[in-house]
């Protein structure tokens, strides 16, 4: 467990994700997304108490789990929920534009925010078959805004010029832009990685801030799409005490660690 006066990259990363949520938003995460899942509860307990959380596997609305369990399909995530949506109810809400934010990740992410969680190497003969989108493509087209994240930026294989398989929609696809294709959702707003924070200027990722132990060269060497830079270090302000307390309270089992390699978990601040 981290000390009161220092924190790990896992905690700061979750706080950065949480800060992308605005108060009053309806927020959803997908399967196997521990960092995004923890971030939703951190936001709810800090700056966004009026947000409405929809669990990604159980579709429970605003549950109050005693802790975040290791799997997103745990009945603990039903505890004290105000409602339990049916699968089709959630997709209807997403089509109507009634869901404000969804968290998306991927084995590959391109500069327009398209993600691939289907097949590295492409179909029909992939090098690696991934889990698939589980309906993410449909709802990524209509949800109001997206927060994209990865903890594998440093590998050099995740932020790519073009995804091998387009699972979830960013701002522009090979077939055209969202507007040209008639999709109503706003697309990615933020991309959070273990190296830094991007926004999407004109539909393309733009690096806005770095974690303090990361250099611009580190990002350039790990990013395979065109790197656009406009740094504003204040966008990655250190976690406030109440944010760290919320991370540690909602995730005492540290399920967020599942998304980080052991070397990344050695990173300590301030």
> For 103-153, how does the pLDDT look when each residue is reduced to its tens digit (9 = 90+)?
999 999 999 999 999 999 988 899 999 988 888 889 999 999 999 999 999
Q: Which two tokens stand for residue 201?
A: 């200027």
Residue 120, CA distances (Å) to 64, 150, 226 in order? 37, 16, 20
Domain ranges of the chain: 7-264
Q: Count the neighbouring beta carbons within 10 Å of the beta carbon of residue 53.
A: 24
Q: How many helices (H) and strands (E) does the chain have?
A: 7, 19
Q: Which two tokens stand for residue 242?
A: 């109440």
Question: How many Å apart are CA 99 and CA 166, to the nearest integer?
Answer: 22
Q: Which two tokens stand for residue 153?
A: 């930026």
CATH of domain 7-264: 3.40.1080.10
Average confidence (pLDDT) over 24-33: 92
* Distance in angstroms between the alpha carbons of the first and the last residue of the chain: 16
Over residues 217-266, the pLDDT tens digits come to: 999 999 999 999 999 989 999 999 999 999 999 999 999 999 999 999 99
Residue 218 · residue 195 · CB < 8 Å: yes
């Amino acid at each position: 467990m981290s000390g009161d006066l220092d924190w790990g990259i896992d905690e700061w990363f979750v706080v950065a994700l949480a800060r992308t949520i605005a108060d009053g938003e309806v927020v959803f995460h997908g399967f196997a997304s521990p960092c995004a899942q923890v971030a939703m509860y951190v936001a709810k307990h800090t700056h966004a108490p009026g947000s409405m959380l929809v669990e990604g596997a159980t579709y429970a609305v605003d549950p109050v789990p005693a802790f975040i369990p290791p799997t997103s399909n745990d009945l603990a995530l039903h505890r004290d929920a105000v409602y339990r949506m049916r699968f089709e109810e959630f997709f209807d809400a997403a089509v109507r534009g009634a869901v404000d934010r969804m968290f998306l990740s991927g084995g590959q992410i391109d500069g327009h925010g398209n993600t691939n969680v289907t097949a590295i190497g492409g179909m029909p003969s992939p090098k690696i078959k991934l889990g698939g989108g589980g309906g993410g493509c449909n709802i990524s087209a209509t949800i109001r805004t997206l927060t994209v994240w990865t903890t594998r930026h440093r590998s050099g294989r995740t932020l790519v010029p073009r995804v091998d398989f387009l699972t979830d929609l960013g701002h522009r696809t090979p077939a055209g832009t969202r507007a040209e294709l008639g999709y109503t959702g706003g697309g990615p707003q933020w991309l959070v990685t273990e190296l830094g924070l991007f926004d999407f200027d004109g539909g393309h990722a733009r690096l806005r801030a770095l974690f303090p132990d990361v250099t611009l060269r580190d990002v350039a060497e790990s990013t395979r799409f065109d790197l656009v830079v406009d740094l504003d270090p204040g966008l990655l302000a250190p976690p406030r005490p109440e944010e760290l307390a919320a991370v540690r309270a909602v995730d005492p089992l540290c399920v967020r660690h599942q998304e980080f390699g052991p070397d990344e978990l050695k990173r300590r601040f301030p």
